[in-house]
Amino acid sequence: MKDILKKVCIVGDPGVGKSCLIKRFADDTFSDKYTHTTGTKMSKKEMEFPDIDVRLSMQLWDVVGPKSPSFLEGYIQGAAGVMAVCDVSRDETLSNLDEWLASVRHIAPDVPVVILANKSDMTDEAVVDSQSVAIAARRFKAPYYMTSARTGVNVALSFGAIGRMVLGEAPLAV
């Protein structure tokens, strides 16, 4: 198996569940490294793709605390993939992905992106349905997944999708 190391960044409004998603996915090999100077946290997770004979070591970068807009430059620099997260219980977190992804693509025009509509377990409070996520995702030319860091639904699938995409492979269909 070929060993490959890639950096993947997670973006989206505060409180959408970015840190919980990374924790849910990466917990079994939790090696958090918090960097005070940049306000970022890095976790590592290995994924194997036997069909393409690759063991991918994903460096998952997370944002900690409030940030100025110029922060994104150094954060996105060197990223092979980006996960953009919104929260189905807050409509504006989906529309704000326009701004997040415009900034990301300004810095890294061709970086692969996946959209995660998180907190899909909150069915009673949901104001964002999968149809509106699908429309946004089509605009961003990105695959999307309805996830829940709480129940774990579609979490491994969506991280697997960005894993395949950073390796230049197509993501698996939902």
Please report, as ranges, the residues that interact with ligand GDP according to CB under 6 A: 14-20, 118-119, 121-122, 148-150
In the complex with ligand GDP, the residue whose CB is nearer, 101 or 149, is 149
Q: Of 114, 53, 108, 50, give the one whose Cα is nearest residue 84.
A: 114
Shortest CB 40 distance to Mg ion, Å: 11
Q: Of 98, 86, 78, 102, give the one whose Cα is nearest residue 166.
A: 78
Q: How far apart are CA 123 and CA 108, in angstroms?
A: 35
24 CB neighbour count, 10 Å cutoff: 18
In the complex with Mg ion, the residue whose CB is nearer, 11 or 56, is 11
Shortest CB 24 distance to ligand GDP, Å: 8
Output the residue with the shortest Cβ distance to ligand GDP.
17
Give, as ranges, the residues between 2 and 31 that touch Mg ion (CB under 5 A).
18-19
47 contacts which partner out of ligand GDP, Mg ion, none, CB within 5 to 8 A by kind? none
- H-state helical runs in 62-127: 71-76, 91-95, 97-107
Q: How far apart are CA 64 and CA 162, in angstroms?
A: 21
Shortest CB 12 distance to ligand GDP, Å: 6
